[in-house]
Structure formats: structure tokens, C-alpha cells
Amino acid sequence: MKYKTKKELIYQQLREEILSGQYDFREKLVISRLAKRFECSEIPVREAMNLLESDGLIEIKPHVGAMVSTLSAKDIQEIFELRVELEGLATRFAVDQLTEDHLDDLRRILNESIKAYKEKNHVHFAELNFEFHMKIYAVCDNKLLIKMIKDLWSHTKRYPSIFRENDTHIQQSIKEHEEILAALEKRDSMLAENSMIKHKARAGKETLRVKQWEFYNRLNSLISNQGV
């Protein structure tokens, strides 16, 4: 097992926390507090911060310090431009590799997703959505492609879930998952790829809509605070 330095341990822990949405956008990361938390000097914390900045996960500004970076509309657009193509490609590659056991797993996940929707458990639905997709991509027999997809997915996971209090989008997502599964069952690689591309394009569109709504709410908050 490879030995990890304190810097690497802090970096990995903070990276995981940021990507899982445990920090709000623009939330400050105070080095002295983190050093106390990780029981170390400030040096490895600063080194970890530099790595997080190079990942684009935080911004470090003079006289301000480090804060969690946000995703701009352009960031989201660029991420989904890649996700649409890569996830469609992974789906096409997966068709010839899928066994009946894999298909059974996908049917199970889809049924559990429908149950989570009916129970209004949006958090569990989002988890099952991720599981459904990764179950497909995992068998595409291209490790680099899978890694690229996971890395891109992790950035948009930071964003407020597009399934939160959004029954219309959940219903549409279930319908599209059913279409993708039907194409996989037919072993129709082109239909499966096209179904996934359409599905991810809709997800990108919805994420951008949520981004605009967040900005709208922020403007409202500023107006209220100023008494305008």
C-alpha cells in the first residue's frame, strides 16, 4: 500500500467533501481551523489548498483567503458537452458486453427508482440514478473512458440535485431510463447510444435551468437585504 503524506490525505478528504456538496459555493475554508481539525501545522493544509485550486474546486484570493468555487453556466455547458458524447459512447461500447445478470441489475435499479419517486425520496432517487448509469458504463471495457465520465460527473454532483422537489424531471428521467434499458435489451447499440445522448442533453438543460434559478434567488436576496 502506498504511503500518503499529510498533504495528500488532507487534499483527498477535502476534495471528497467538496465534490459531495458538503460545502456551499463561496464558503470560506479557513486554514487555521483546518490545521486544527487535521491536527497538523498550516503547511500541509496550504499545500493541499494549492492542489484543490489547480483542480478548480476552490479559489484563493489575496486578503480574502480560500473559498469553494462555483460553477458558471459556461462551466456547466462545457461539462455536459463532454458528458453527452462520452456517456453516449460508453453506452454503445457496453451493449456487446452486457450479460443477462447486468440487465437484471438495471431492471432492479429502475424498479427501486420508481419506488423512491413514489415515496418522494429524492436523495435516494439521485443515488439510484447514479448507480443506473455507472452499472452501464462499468462494462464498456474502457477504463480511461469510465474515469473521464466519473470525473466530469463529480463536478456536477456539487450542484444542487436537479431531482430535488422536481417531480416533472424525475418522471422524465424514469421514462428515459426505461427507453435506454429497452434499447440495451434489444442489443441495439445505436439506439442505446442515441437514447443516452438525448437523456444527458435533457439533464444538461435542466442543470442550466437550476443554475439560472439559483442566480435569480441570489438577486432577490440582495434586493431584500438592501430594502430595495
> What are 182-199's pLDDT values in tens digits?
999 999 999 999 999 999
* Number of domains the chain contains: 2
For residue 28, the surrounding DSSP H or E stretch is: strand 28-29
pTM for this prediction: 0.76
Mean pLDDT on 126-136: 95
- Looking at per-residue pLDDT, the higher value among 15 and 177 belongs to 177
Pairing status of strand 58-61 against strand 28-29: unpaired
List the one residue out of 5, 6, 23 whose CA is nearest residue 66. Answer: 23
Q: Do 17 and 83 share a domain, yes or no?
A: no
In a domain, 19, yes or no: yes
Tens of pLDDT, residue by residue over 34-82, are 999 999 999 999 999 999 999 888 999 988 899 998 888 888 899 999 9
In a domain, 90, yes or no: yes
Q: Do 149 and 186 share a domain, yes or no?
A: yes
Q: Do 152 and 91 share a domain, yes or no?
A: yes
Give the model's pLDDT for residue 165: 60
Please answer whether residues 80 and 207 qualify as being in contact, where contact means their C-beta atoms are separated by less than 8 angstroms.
yes
Q: Do 80 and 190 share a domain, yes or no?
A: yes
CATH number, domain at 84?
A: 1.20.120.530
59-73, 76-90, 101-115: segment of lowest average pLDDT: 59-73
Residue-range definition of the domain harbouring residue 120: 73-218
3-state helix, strand, coil in the chain (%, to 5): 70, 5, 25
Tens of pLDDT, residue by residue over 202-225, are 999 988 887 776 665 666 666 776
Nearest-angstrom CA–CA distance, 137 and 15: 23
In a domain, 187, yes or no: yes
Give the model's pLDDT for residue 39: 94
Nearest-angstrom CA–CA distance, 193 and 93: 9
Return the residue matching grid coordinates 440582495: 222
Most trustworthy range by pLDDT among 121-125, 155-159, 191-195: 191-195
Q: Report percent pLDDT > 90 for the chain.
A: 64
Give the model's pLDDT for residue 18: 86
Three-class secondary structure of residue 64 per DSSP: coil
CB atoms within 10 A of CB 196: 28
In a domain, 225, yes or no: no
Nearest-angstrom CA–CA distance, 63 and 48: 19
